[in-house]
Structure 1
Amino acid sequence: MKMPLHIRPLARDDYRAVGRIFFYAIHEGTKGIYSDQQRRAWGSEAIELDRWKARLDHLNGFIAEINHEPVGFFTIDREGYLDLAFVLPSVARMGVGQALLKNVEQWAKDNGATQLTTDASLVAWPFFLKNGWHVTNEEHVERNGVTLTRYKMQKSVR
């Protein structure tokens, strides 16, 4: 049975939901790909609500809801950089990420971007690849003394 999915613009008051989605996507959704140490370095030990409240002041994007419950969010800037792309593990592979990506790509086009870019995790890069993006570079970044692998990716949106 398909659940009704609602996509709406991200709002400042979504910081609690965004923090929760980010935390569970990192700590549960990347198990088996990243070590415990890597997940803690990337997603911290707890949901940092103050950090998310301040960060949402400067982000554009969309949040996905199923039955009025936030389940995923993607952010995009005017240059076409997709900074955050997270979905709760409980709804992974159910079309939530696809719907959010469609919305951020359209928003980018509407706001004059011709190229989309992102830094995709080991978990996210196959999703982007399937959606017409390509890898431009693999990089290893340090977070809190721990090395993480990610992929610089891009896609034209003319």
Structure 2
Amino acid sequence: MIQIREATLEDIPYITTIFRDSITHVNAKDYSEKQIRVWTSGALDIDIWKDRIMNSYFIVAELKDTVVGFAYLTKGNYFDGLYVHKDHLRRGFGIKLMRIIESQALAKGYEVLKADVSITSLPFFEDQYYLVEKKQKKNYKGLAFEIYKVYKEL
């Protein structure tokens, strides 16, 4: 049974592991080794993860008391992150996390949810009725990453 709850600071080791492993194993087909290395280095900045948990709507998905995914919402209607453990993909965790994030934005009075998504996750978001606003390059630690700005009317 999937349980969704708000993240706590104690979840950071699980969250950063999922973040790193997801990028390494799932996104590797769409990004270079150097891009993967730079992107996964974001797992090491614990202060940023603490800030996200304390200042965002940040939720985790659990299966048998093990964190298997997470998502977070910033600025009220910016879907800032969605990651599911590589061994738990295509089991409904991502969709459940997404629906709760969407519900939270709607409850706060927003009619549109926005996100920047990777090449890898674009098909998942499109399958959930997100529309591409534009394709763009995003600079992260000196490297350009191809991403998509998407939105969904709630």
TM-score for the superposition, normalised by structure 1: 0.89
CA distance in 2, matches of 1:72, 1:131: 18
Say whether the 8 Å CA contact 2:135–2:147 is kept in structure 1.
Answer: yes
Partners in 1 of 2:54 and 2:97 — Cα distance?
A: 20
Structure 1 residues 38 and 155 mapped into 2: Cα distance closer, same or farther (>3 Å)?
same
2:96 is paired with a residue whose SS is helix
| Aligned alpha-carbon RMSD (Å) | 1.6
Q: In 2 relative to 1, CA 139–53 (structure 1 residues): closer, same or farther, beyond 3 Å?
A: same
Could you tell me whether the CA contact under 8 Å between 2:17 and 2:43 is conserved in 1?
Answer: no
Structure holding more helix per residue = 2
Q: How does 1:3-152 map to 2 (within 5 A)?
A: 4-44=1-41, 47-152=44-149
Which runs of no fewer than 5 residues in structure 1 stay unpaired? none
Percent identity, aligned pairs only?
28
Point out 4+ residue stretches in structure 1 off by more than 6 angstroms: none
Aligned length: 154
Please give the TM-score of this superposition, normalised by the length of structure 2: 0.92
Q: State the SS of the aligned residue for 1:83.
A: strand
86-95 or 40-49, which moves further after superposition? 40-49
Corresponding letter in the other structure for 1:58? N
Q: Could you tell me which of 150, 154, 158 is aligned with 2:151?
A: 154
